[in-house]
Structure 1
Amino acid sequence: MKMLCSSSRLSSVFIKLNNMGRLTVLIAAVVMNMIVIERVIASEENTSSTTQKADKDMIEKGAYLAKMGDCVACHTISDGQEFGGGLAFITPFGTMYSTNISSDKDHGIGHYSYEDFYAALHDGIAPKGNLYPAMPYTSYRLLTDDDTRALYAFFMNTKPVQQKNKDNDVGFPFNIRMGLKGWNLLNLESGIFQPVPDKSEAWNKGNYIVNALGHCGECHTPRGTLFAMDESKQFEGAMIEGYEASNITPTELNRQAWTAMDLEQLLRTGYSRKGTVFGGMYPVVYHSLSHLTAEDMAAVTTYLLDTDSAVNEVVEPAALTFNGHDEAAPGYGLYNAYCAGCHGVDGEGKPNISPAMAGNSTLDQAEPINTVAVLLNGVGDQRYSQTQSFYAMPGYRNEMDKQQLTDLINYLQKTWTTQKGELTQEKINMIISKVEDSLPDAAH
């Protein structure tokens, strides 16, 4: 009996030990599972954090590129919400309105897939049909896929603006968008940016910025009979709403003695010793160029000053100095009456009031279109920052006759530029006509 009892107790002990072992194994398994789960969760959190960081970086890159492309200037009305659209563009074909490109899904582009966005930027094709080339897809098509994706990430995360798009007021046959397919076939070139092998990295980067997102040629390059950019005259200047988008070829910039420092200062602040920006260039500086990094701005100036020009050989710049007043000249009295109060008796200019005359690139033109435009129409006040601004200048359209205008411009050029030829009243009349013809109908 004792043997049986001992055996039974022993069996019971073994059973307990066995159960305890199983329990220990079970606990160990649970602990291991918890560790694995914690590691999986931690890994997922790390992955999520990395993804969020990548998304944030992509959005920030897209925000910078949107500034480089000056998107807000065209897609935002005065006192309106950013990217809500509605800005009017008066063209020879009628009035077009920029569209809502915020992330709003009803009125903006929040419903766009990446493929939709790419097609709009590169091919001018939106989900509802062809876009008018007032939207510069002819330049944006040079964008890399990475940059396009960054822009997409940014615009999908902008504040949605619930603002309906305005209908364009475009007459027949330009209101038939199917015709834009033919325009694209005739005028759209390859959408692949090709670096120039024998140029520097900075030059090629500047080439990409200026011709892709910067879309500088859209204003500074003349247009042909079909209103496409005439690439044979790249950057030679074109009339835009009463002003000339200046000739910015290296030949002309060198002739006017522009330096990289001058050009960078102008593009970043709106002012340099060579003059100020005005007209349509003012919002470009304010919203876009002033935000470029130092590296990108240096690339832009490298490209603009150093690109090959098949138009003319680069000439040595002549010094631009104050040549002294000719008190007998008919324009002398006009200068003192209308100009000297702000620009100075000797044309030295006044900080934060008006630019100097000496070295002013607007004056130093064989065909001084913008000088005529400014004297006729004036210039609004230019406020670039809290420390940099210029007063508004009135127009003298109703105060000077054409002979007085001719006398004053001849005086300005002879006194402060390298232009020594005499402009005739007939020449000034031709320039006035060019200025007037480029004004929107509402301004006539």
Structure 2
Amino acid sequence: MNRPHGRRRSAAVTATALALSLPILGAGPASAAPAPAAVSSARSGSATHAASAALPRPTGPHAVGRSMLHLVDTHRPDPWVPSAGPRQLMVSVYYPARTGTRGPTAPYMTTEEARLLLAMKVPDSTVPPETISGIRTWAHPGAHPAHGRFPLVVLSPGFTLPRATLTGLAEDLAGRGYVVALVDHLYETAGTTLPDGRTLPCAICDAPPAGGPAAIAESRAKDVSFVLDRLTGRHPAWRYARMIDPKRIGMAGHSIGGDAAAATMAADDRVRAGVNMDGTFFAPVPEAGLDGRPFLLFSEATGVDDKTWNQAWDRLDGWKRWLTVAGSDHGTFTDAPLLAELLGVADPNVLSSGRSEAITRAYVAAFFDLHLKGIAQPLLDGPSPRNPEVSVRLP
């Protein structure tokens, strides 16, 4: 397996290069061509691994529920496949559930989504897709919601990556008292399964769209604004929408999803706080800033210099922090370290899945607790003995 590429690249990087940006699983072909038939004996991910692999338990006081939404924007054609008709999005909504919730937990992803992800990222793997799709989660489909109103956080994954790769963070935020909308942007991921059973592969991974990566981030901003319309409008698409406090909305994203968080804030003032987890700012932060709204930069440690982050830091005009995590790489802020361990391609020089999840959860939750709940967070103001890997840059 090739050594991972770092996150930070020049702004001239194409979408094809971004398609290789799950470094922790190795740099495979950008296409989502069919994989060879799965075999029963996995290389490092065996049937035993599949049965025992689990995301870390959410750390908050709430049980976690999950709903699935298929949203169709009839006023906007799909930007990448216009012949497909209106823009479609799949959204997993995680939410605080009633104490004592029991029963089956939600699948991590569909088997076909897992197959396409493996075909794109590690085409030589003999690990069955069920090893990935069978990762144990903690959210209960259709669980009764907890009482109260909660802030909403939208999560956007990295380019080519299914939304499932942010499940660990989504579940943890829900357990801490947030409604979380985890979005799949169709035709930008290795594969997205629709309610009718079709799994649509990536349409722009082999060739960049007009406008390059910046166009992807700007399109995602439109996607997220539509999701907010459907979750907080007069006729919401989600049955438990009453749980959402529309005055307390944040967004976080990984890689180009992090760029999209800033692009969304620039276009939609409903989003009050944002986090970029290791994403180049192909769509730059506006020169005028983000109207004083808070923003968190969460950076891996191994990439080359990224001038877009220095520019963004200078333009951010509200509360801001720049966190750098020693021993991390581009996948650290997602579930990718766990996937890499199951596939036998984990880099021994990079933080383990458990440590990666713990750091990401702690700091992202602290940021939203401060800015959407008004709870003081000294963790964000300097070094922490519990997290010696994290350095904090202050304004």
- Give the TM interval when normalised to the shorter protein: under 0.3
Q: Report the TM-score, using the length of structure 2 for normalisation.
A: 0.27
* Bigger CA radius of gyration: 1
- The structure with the greater share of residues assigned to helix is 1
